[in-house]
Amino acid sequence: MKFHKTNIGGCFVVEPEILEDNRGKFFRSFCEDEFREITNEQIRFVQMNHSVNHKKGTFRGMHFQEPPYSEGKLIKCVRGSVLDTFLDIRKGSPTFLEYEQIELSEENKKMIYLCKGIAHGFLTLEDNTDLLYHHTEFYNKHADNGIRYDDPVVEISLPVIPSIISNKDQNYSLLTHDFKGI
């Protein structure tokens, strides 16, 4: 696997090294030793989620869990494509409230590893798009939180206004300039 640093420390684009022959393709999605070498920490995934999205223009996010249940995530698009967005909300981080975006797709096979303290969301670019998430912490409904994609404090740019978004994701409270992070 190849790891590419992002501008947000602790987050990496992960590209698999694909072996191809007359049978098809083979590649690794995760190797504990390689992740430990690049992140300098033991990565242990405890939960895997599958996100199924029927329509282009669906937006999910910007999700995170409050401490002490903050989670790292490894995200892979297994069908279709998304514009993946990740936002640094770590208290004291040099990139606090900065975000990055990357296209993840079935075709490019790229993944994104997000460290703890990062809010995450995505916009589907095709109908019938599926993502797999590996989480380092179990879901805790009391720690579940999010930031609106259209929050004026963050000003996330999307190529289109989402056509499908949950009530929950639309109704997160707006950030104030007093927000210091998690």
Q: What is the mean pLDDT of each run of 10 residues along the chain (182 residues)?
A: 96 94 92 89 94 98 97 98 98 98 98 98 98 97 97 96 97 94 96
pLDDT for position 151: 97
- If you search the block for the tokens 């640093």, which residue do you land on? 5
**Number of other CB atoms surrounding residue 37 within 10 Å:** 10
Judge whether 161 and 105 are in contact, CB under 8 Å. no
The catalytic residue among 99, 113, 133, 149 is 133
Work out the widest C-alpha separation in the chain, in whole angstroms: 58
The catalytic residue among 63, 113, 134, 149 is 63
Contacts of 168 (CB under 8 A, 6+ apart): 146
Q: Is the dihedral of CA 127, 6, 61, 27 positive or negative?
A: positive
- Residue ranges of domains in the chain, CATH in brackets: 45-170 (2.60.120.10)
pLDDT for position 40: 86
The two three-digit tokens of residue 130, written as one number: 């599926």
The two three-digit tokens of residue 144, written as one number: 């579940």
Annotation says 99 is catalytic: no
Q: State the pTM of this model.
A: 0.94
pLDDT for position 177: 85
Annotation says 50 is catalytic: no
